[in-house]
Amino acid sequence: MYGYSIKKILIIIPVVIFCLVFMGCKGPKGPPQSGPPEVTVLKVSQEKITLTTELPGRVSAYRIAEVRPQVSGIIQKRLFTEGVDVKAGEVLYQIDPAPFQAALDNAKGALGRAEANLPAIKQRYDRYKELIVDKAVSQQEFDDVSAALKQAEADVSYWKAAVESARINLGYTKVTAPISGRIGKSNVTEGALVTANQPMALTTIQQIDPIYVDIPQSTTELADLRRRLEEGRIRYDGIEQKKIKLAFEDGRIYPQEGTMQFRDITVDPTTGSVIIRAIFPNKEARLLPGMFVRAIVKEGVNKDAILIPQEAVSRDPKGNPYVLVLDKEGKAQVRPIILDRAIGNRWLVQKGISVGDQVITEGIQRVRPGVPVKVSAPKEGGADQSVPGAEKRPSAKTN
């Protein structure tokens, strides 16, 4: 029995080995060797773009008038509604006019008395002037009447000025709006005693149409802008250069463009920045004094800009940007580049690639430098419809 089992095993083993060898020869083979990786490339071209920078800004009123009394007295009436628009010259407060009316009447009476005395003295002077020629009166008498005439004329002039001053002070009892605009809350009520030129304003009027936006720009950014202008990388865009757009804190764009008024030359020592002042129409009062906004300021025009998709840019272990381009032999080569800023979903390239270069935009993960690739329908560089009209500058320049 034992010998029979050994014989059976010896017969089975060769059969198993044969089957394994046979199956190995006839079984499925490994995957075939793949061809060159397929990629999509972009043929680099130039285009004209307007470069902008986004800066913080603060809204301020076009004109501000703090209303103060010019005479002292008791407030009798407040003649306006708080928070409404008022016109220049509109009466806001009425100060008790009684003492000022009395002062005016007193000055008018004194003026009348001085004018009544003047004709008699003038006639006496004329007679003495004729008599002095014939020596009928002494020189002293003529000098006395001449002095009296001058005194009388001076009295008339003095009381005329007093009447005018009293009339002006009486007019000041009606406190009027110096400018047109939106009036704020009243700081006094009826019955309050106010004094001329007091430090506390009775109320404040602000003109907000048009309205100013003050935009601080760092001296570093200003120097960088001047350098790029001197190097010819950007150029002024004429009148359009002064156009400025606004964005609210929630990202909404203000519908009307503003105009740059001036760029200050004084640097704020605490922030190291200068102020750009722009003026905006504000008929609907959507911009309010003190509001914070984002200003989109035009830097200039780049007529020879080179833009590539952001997905085409890779970075080495040190963070330096590079792209893969095709050489004349159809092989992928590494090309270091210098980036200026992000514009929409593309990068503005400062240096590294030229017009006509073919930059790999898709299939980069399958490509190794120096290896031939298969190109599928190349794309032409140019305007990208997905790029918004207002290009944004990144917080830090990438080199």
φ/ψ of 24, rounded to 5, equals -65, -35
Query: 252-271, pLDDT tens digit by residue?
Result: 999 999 999 988 889 999 98
The stretch 104-109 carries a mean pLDDT of 96
Q: Is the pLDDT of residue 4 over 70?
A: no
Q: Is the pLDDT of residue 121 over 70?
A: yes
What pLDDT is attached to residue 12?
54
Local confidence band at 234 (pLDDT 50, 70, 90 cut-offs): confident
User: Domains in the chain, ordered, with CATH?
Assistant: 42-60+209-380 (2.40.30.170), 69-89+179-200 (2.40.50.100), 98-171 (1.10.287.470)
User: Six-digit token pair at 329?
Assistant: 């032999």
What pLDDT is attached to residue 304?
87
Matching residue, tokens 């009148």: 239
What pLDDT is attached to residue 340?
87
Matching residue, tokens 């764009």: 253
Contact (CB, 8 A) for 50 and 237: yes
- The residues that bridge with 324 in the sheet, in sequence order, are 334
φ/ψ of 107, rounded to 5, equals -65, -40
Contact (CB, 8 A) for 97 and 216: no
Query: 54-66, pLDDT tens digit by residue?
Result: 999 999 999 999 9
Q: How far apart are CA 1 and CA 23, in angstroms?
A: 33
Q: Is the pLDDT of residue 22 over 60?
A: no
Q: What percent of the chain shows pLDDT beyond 70?
A: 86
Give the largest Cα separation in the chain, rounded: 190
Local confidence band at 33 (pLDDT 50, 70, 90 cut-offs): very low
φ/ψ of 86, rounded to 5, equals -125, 160
Nearest to 253 by CA among 215, 291, 294: 294
Local confidence band at 221 (pLDDT 50, 70, 90 cut-offs): confident
Higher pLDDT, 27 or 150: 150
Q: Is the pLDDT of residue 189 over 80?
A: yes
- What's the pTM value of the predicted model, to 2 decimals? 0.70
